[in-house]
Structure 1
Amino acid sequence: MPVTCKCGGVCCFKCGAQWHEPVACDMLKKWVQKCHDDSETAHWINANTKVGEECPKCQVTIEKNGGCNHMVCKSAVCKHEFCWVCMGDWLPHGSAWYNCARFDEKDTKDVRENAN
């Protein structure tokens, strides 16, 4: 049952949310939870991927799906090895699999977070 406030807003008497006819209160609650979960997923993706990033050698679109910063281009003809953090050649990085030899990882993370 809708309730209209003096300000003109309409809310649901049963759950207190904004009026949501014809959706039942329990369905609305599930929808809000799903949207919240999807939002957290989107935040994780933004924090851990570089959308539209390309191989620095052949420009094939790349995506990091976990693991260390050592990237190998999946293009059959390229196979370029590079650092995910700085996009530079991997050779100077040596065995620093989880740290970029050119940048401090914390500073890089701070820059990414401030950009979002």
Structure 2
Amino acid sequence: MRILNGDGGGWIKGGLIDDTVHFQLDPFHLNRDIIRKVRDKNQRRKIMSLLKEKKVESTLAYLKELLESTTDEKEAGRLTELHTYFFKNKDGLISYQQRDLNIPMPPAGVVYRNLGTMKHHICDIIA
């Protein structure tokens, strides 16, 4: 079993997804985009709450409701981008820890840890 933690870019999932691989949208990117695209804090909390409750379809429906109810063109653009991003990555909106995966026990001497975020480490390597 492998967990693929990524930003949702097409290249990250290209050819790697099979029955042994479980994709999750990197929590940094998920949360960053909610904060950047949804200005109202109560709406943000609702989105995060729906995701925490593993209600992916309800999250997408709520974003669609927000989009349809706004008259602000810029806000509509941001909400459209977020809805599209979430829709394209809906298989990864729920973290692997929250899914009902049958994760094998680690071998002796190995400890499973959280994935963390790779962005900082990649920047250090490139720099």
- With the shorter chain as reference, the TM-score category is under 0.3
Q: TM-score, normalised by structure 2?
A: 0.23
Greater RCO (CA < 8 Å, at least 6 residues apart): 2
More helix by share: 2
